Amino acid sequence: MRVYRADLQVHSCLSPCGSLESSPRRIIAAAKARQLAMIALTDHNTTANCPAFAAAAARCGGITPLFGAEVTTTEEIHVVCLFAELATAVTFGDFIHQHLAPVKNNPELFGDQPIVDVDEQVLGFEERLLVGTTDLALDALDDDVHARGGLVIASHIDRPINSVFSQLGMWPAQVTLDACDLSPRAQDSTWRGRVPLSVPFVRTSDAHFLEDIGRQSTAFALAAPSFDELALALRGVAGRRIVPPADCRAAAPEPSCKNPI
């Protein structure tokens, strides 16, 4: 097993709150520069920039892209949904689009929502407001994503808006989330007692700007940097596991800087 670092939640320019500079190509370049082995594209309620993300990762090489979206449930909980394959994510994106409230984006209020290609050419603009809410209940979304072979991660559970705890008051029984994401300021110890032990904590950047990519990430002990290995590590089986930050420093010393300033 080796230690691989992954950032499982990043927004591109397609998210209305995302920087227009955050093209899939630049996200991949930034992730590579920060020595991330895996990076997930998770725009709000869409997977429309995932094809460019896949192409950018293939062109760059040496980094594993994961495809998904940060979906808003009918309870207004933000949930990161991840898939191994681009095609699965695109199909899932169509499904989400059918369930997203048909509210038109006002670019002056929320920003543009450009769909781009790998060369940063604008292919079109998503007209539906992507920060809207779907009519999918948390339980239904959880079941759907798992049926498609995906992973479900509750976003920023420590935050007072759009989190499992803000919306539902307590951990929901009968939901089989694969992990929870904690914001930078949150301590694991503060939240561990409120979430079942079977649900691990991960750290993601939730980056909306290029400079924030990898600001928080999670280290995994894996045989290879792949979606299937990640899924094993979240369950803590077959020797795959999440590597706590303290162990990680010991296991993987900081790589020496190739370009000292």
Does residue 138 belong to the site contacting another protein (CB under 8 A)?
A: yes
- The enclosing H or E element of 201 equals strand 201-202
Q: Of 54-62, 137-145, 191-199, 214-222, which part binds another protein (CB under 8 A)?
A: 137-145
Does residue 132 belong to the site contacting another protein (CB under 8 A)?
A: no
Does residue 139 belong to the site contacting another protein (CB under 8 A)?
A: yes
* Binder of another protein out of 1, 86, 168, 231 (CB under 8 A): 168
Q: Between 14 and 136, whose beta carbon lies closer to another protein? A: 136
What do you get for the CA distance between the two ends of the chain, in Å? 33
* Sign of the torsion angle spanned by Cα atoms 17, 20, 21, 25: positive
> What is residue 153's three-state secondary structure?
strand
Give the angle 57-58-61 at the CA atoms, nearest 5°: 80
* Number of residues lying near another protein (CB under 8 A): 14
Does residue 137 belong to the site contacting another protein (CB under 8 A)?
A: yes
| Least Å from the CB of residue 178 to another protein | 19
* Binder of another protein out of 109, 147, 170, 246 (CB under 8 A): 170
Does residue 75 belong to the site contacting another protein (CB under 8 A)?
A: yes
**Token match 């094993």: residue?**
232
* Binder of another protein out of 53, 95, 165, 220 (CB under 8 A): 165
Q: Residue 202 pairs with which residues in a beta bridge?
A: 181
* Binder of another protein out of 35, 167, 183, 226 (CB under 8 A): 167
DSSP-assigned letters across all residues of 37-92 = SEEEEEEET--TTHHHHHHHHHHH-S-EEEEEEEEEPTT--EEEEEESSHHHHHHH
Q: Which residues bind another protein (CB under 8 A)?
A: 75, 137-139, 160, 165-170, 172-174
